[in-house]
Amino acid sequence: MRMVRIAGLVLMLALAGQGVAQEPPAAADPVAAVDVFVGSDDGGNTVPGAAVPFGFVNVSPDTTGGSTNGYDGKTPVTGFSFTHVSGTGGNSKYGNFRVTPTVGAVDPRNLVFARSNEKGSAGFYAVDLKGQAGPIRTELTATRRAALARFTFPAARDANLLIDVTSAVQLMGNGPRATGAEAWFDDDRTLLGRASFTGGWNEAPLTLYFAAAFNRAPIGFGTWKATRGTLALQPGSARAAGGDQRTDASVQLGGYATFDTRGQRAVQVKLAVSFISAEQARRTLAEELPDWDFAAARGRAEAAWRDVLAKIQVTGGSADERRNFYSALYRSHTMPHDVSGENAWWRSPAPHYEDYYTLWDTFRTLHPLMTLIQPERQRDMIVSLLETYRHTGWLPDARIAGANGMTQGGSNSDVLIADAVVKKLGGFDDALAFEALLKNGDVESDDPINQGRALRDYLALGYMSLNETRSASRTLEYAYNDFAIAEVASALGRKPEAARYLKRSRNWRNLWDDRLKCIRPRYADGGWIANFDCDHLYPDNRTAWWDAPFYEGSSAQYSTYVPHDVAGLIGKLGGEAGFVAWLDRLFDGGGYEQGNEPDFLAAYLYIHAGRPDRAAERVRHIMANHYRPARDGLPGNDDAGAMSSWYVWSAIGLFPNAGQPFYYIGAPIFSVSSLHLEKGRRFEVRAPAASAAARYVVGATLNGRPINRAWLTHDEVAAGGLLELRMAETPGDWATRFTAPPNPYLAAIDARPGK
C-alpha cells in the first residue's frame, strides 16, 4: 500500500525560545499503511484478524499449523475464534468460541479448508474458504468485547454456522483443555454458553461466557456433542453440557444453525465474550453492536485505529519504511487487553486490563511509548496493576486471564512504575505503588515462578547463586529493579529506603568477572562456575532455558544489561575505548540477538562512550536487516508489541532507557516525525537530510538552540517542541564527549552507584 508524503510542512518558533511546529496539513490515512500480516509467520506470532486498540476480542482465523496465536499463513483454516494473544511465545491461551462455516451435513469434526483472497486491514479481515459447493467468503470486524462476522455462502439449502464452545488454540497438542462447557439456544437466533479450561500458558483455570446472535432465523438449529468417532446432534433449544477434554482431547461441544442461502446468500453472526456471564455478553452485544450494519461497524473499528495511529505522523523514508512503521505502531496497540467492565475476580469500578504477556518483554519499549503518546491508557494500566496488587497481594510481572504468572526474570513492574513516576505521569496512588514495590524488593515470594522474587540468596549474598534457576540473569534484573525502587523512594521523600535500594542496585558487580570481562555465575560459597565462556549460549541441548543461569541468552548478551550503571560498566572495561571494543565484539561476533528483549538497549549504549556514530550504524543495520513489511518480517516473537515498539522508537530517532527520565537521540529514518502529546502539545523531530546513507547526526538544535548531547530529558520532550537534526553520510564530532543525563531523583542520595 502506498502512503502519500505530507506536503508543505511549515515550522515556526514560538515565544520564550520554545520551537513548535505549525500543525501540518492532513496526511494520508495511516490506516492504509498498516499491513496486519507482518510477523504472522516464522516466529513473529502476530494475529492478522480484526480487533480495535487494546480490545479483548480479536476475531482471527485458526489454522492447523498455528503457534500461540493460532495462525500461520501456510496451513488450512479450521475456523475463526474470538479471543487471541498476539506475538507471544511460550504456550498458547485462548482461541475460544470458534465459528466455522460449512455446507452440507452438520459435522464439526476434522474441519479444514484451503483459503484464497486473504486480505486484512486495521479492524478488518477477509478470506475465501474453499468448500465442495463453492467458496465461502468470510468477513470480520470487531469492537472491544465483541465481533461481527459476515459469511457469504454459495447457493445452498444447508449452509451451516458451527460454533465450537470447547475450542482453544493448541500448540503442539499442549494448549488449554476444556474441563466443562454448556451451550443452549435462548431462541432460534440466540445461542448462549460458557466453557472452562485448564492448562496453557501459566496453567491457570479460565472460564469464559459468550452470547451469539444471527441476523436472520435459521431453518434449523440445535446443539451437538462430538468425539473423534462419535457425533450426537440435539435439534432445538435443549441445553447441551459436557465437553471435558482432560482424558480425551477430541471431545467437543457446541451449537449449530442452518440457513437456506439459495435466495439471500449472506448470513451474519455477532458474538460477544465475557468473563462474568452469558447475560453480560448479551448486554455487550446490545451496547457495542446494536445493529447489523457491517460497513458501519468496520468504519468504527477503522476510526479507532486511525485515532491511535495519528499519534505519530511521519514524512519521508521509503514506502517500505512507512509500512514497517505504521504496522509496528499498530501492533504496539494490541495488548494488554482492556477488559474494563469484565472483572470477574473482584468488584472495582477501576479500569481493568488483562494479558500482560509479559512485562519482562514490554516494560523496555512498549510502556514508555504508552507513557509518551497514550498517557491516559498507561495510567489506566498502572491503576489496573495496582488493583491486582491490592486484591492478590503481588504486582504481577506477567498476567493472563485473571491469573498471575509466569515470571521470567525480575519484578519488572518496578521499572514500569518508576518510569511513570520519574516522568510525572500521575493518576495513580503512588503510596500504594511504593508499598507494592517494597514488597517485591523485601519479601520472599511463596510462589516466585508466578509473582514476586526469590530473595534468599540475593539478600544474603548480594547475588543469586547457582542453586537457583536463571541465577545470573535474575541477579541483573533484580539489581535494576532495585534501582527503580530507589527512584520511587526518592520521589516520595523516603531517603533511607532510596539509599538502601540504590546500594543494592550495585549487586550486578558481584557477578562480574574482571578477567573474562563479563557476568559469570557463582556458587553460594563464592566460587565461579568452571569452564565458562562469555559467548556460550545457555542452555545447551541438555538444559531448558528455564533452568539455565541466563534466561534465553548468553552472558555476552546479558552483560550489557546494566541500564542504571553504564558508567560503572565502562569502568569495568577499562574506559570508553575498551567499552566500545567490547560492544563491537558483541555485534560483530554474532552474539547480539535482536529477536530477544535483553539486547534491546545495547546499540544505544555506544552513546555513553561518546560514539553516537556507532549507535547509528548499529541501529540502522538492525532496522534494515531485521524488520520487513512481510509475513516473516520480524526478528522474533513480537511479544505483545515489544519488538514493534523498538522499531517505532528507533525509526523516529528517539529511544527510552526504561525507568529513567531521558531519551537517547538515535538515527531517524524519517525527515519529519510529529508526536501528538497530552494537553495538545506536539514534539517534532526534523531530519530533512535523513536517508539510507545519511545516518549520522552531526549537529542538533532543540527549540532553535544548539545542543551537543545525544539525549533529551523527558520534560524537554513532554513540553512539546522541535528537535532539528543535521544528518550526514560521515560522522562528525557531535556528542563525542558524553555527559550523563540529569536524574533529580538520585541527586540527594549518597549511596549512588559508583560513589
Sign of CA dihedral 407, 209, 345, 245: negative
Q: Which residues contact 559 (CB under 8 A, 6 or more apart)?
A: 512, 518, 519, 534, 569
pLDDT band at residue 747 using 50, 70 and 90 as cut-offs: confident
* pLDDT value at 466 more than 50: yes
Q: Per-residue pLDDT for 687 more than 70?
A: yes
Domains of the chain: 35-305 (2.70.98.10)
Cα–Cα distances (Å) from 228 to 109, 231, 246, 616, in that order, read: 7, 8, 14, 57
Judged against a pLDDT cut of 90, whether residue 260 lies above it is answered with yes
Instruction: Give residue-wise pLDDT tens across range 613-634.
Output: 999 999 999 999 999 999 999 9
CA separation for the pair 79, 266 (Å, rounded): 17
Dig out the grid coordinates for 750 from the structure.
Answer: 549518597
Copy the grid coordinates of residue 184: 443452549
Q: Look up residue 360 and give its three cell numbers.
A: 519482562
Using one digit for the tens of pLDDT, what is the confidence trace for 639-677?
999 999 999 999 999 999 999 999 999 999 999 999 999
542-593, pLDDT tens digit by residue? 556 678 999 999 999 999 999 999 999 999 999 999 999 999 999 999 999 9
Mean pLDDT over each residue of the chain, to the nearest integer: 94
Kindly state the helix (H) or strand (E) to which residue 695 belongs, with its residue range: none
Query: What's the pLDDT band for 6 if we cut at 50, 70, 90?
Result: very low
Phi, psi of 496 (to 5 degrees): -60, -45
**Could you read off the pLDDT of 281-296 as tens digits, one per residue?**
999 999 999 999 999 9
Cis check: omega of the bond before 730, within 30 degrees of 0: no
Q: Between the CA of residue 296 and those of 32, 71, 675, what are the distances in Å?
A: 18, 27, 29
Residue 363, CA distances (Å) to 223, 293, 381, 656 in order? 45, 39, 12, 10
Cell numbers for 310, please give them: 495519528
Three-state secondary structure of 152-209: ECCCCCCEEEEEECCCCCCCCCCCCEEEEEEEEEEECCEEEEEEEEECCCCCCCEEEE
Q: Are 25 and 10 in contact (CB under 8 A)?
A: no
**CA 372, 376, 377, 382 torsion-angle sign:** positive
Average pLDDT value for residue range 516-537 = 93
Total Cβ atoms within 10 A of residue 228: 12
What is the number of other CB atoms lying within 10 angstroms of the CB of residue 350? 14
Angle at 389 between CA 384 and CA 394, to 5 degrees: 135
Identify the pLDDT of residue 535.
Answer: 86
Q: How far apart are CA 674 and CA 591, in angstroms?
A: 35
- CA 370 to CA 356: how far, in whole Å? 14
pLDDT at 7: 33
Is this model's pTM higher than 0.75 or not? Answer: yes
DSSP for 212-245, please give it: EEESS--SEEEEEEE-SS-EEEEESS--EEE---
Residue 376 scores a pLDDT above 60: yes
HSE, CB side, 13 Å, CA atoms: give it for residue 190. 12
Burial of 284 (0-12, 13-18, 19+ CB in 10 A): buried
Does 209 score more than 50 pLDDT? yes
The closest alpha carbon to 358, from 434, 451, 464, belongs to 451
Give me the pLDDT at residue 405, please. 85
Please give the DSSP secondary-structure letter assigned to residue 741: P
337: helix, strand or coil: strand
Q: How far is CA 457 from CA 371, 404, 481, 500, in A?
A: 34, 23, 16, 17
- Distance, CA of 280 to CA of 485 (rounded, Å): 40
Angle at 344 between CA 338 and CA 345, to 5 degrees: 105
Choice between 71 and 11, residue whose per-residue pLDDT is larger: 71
Q: Name the more confident of 174 and 750.
A: 174
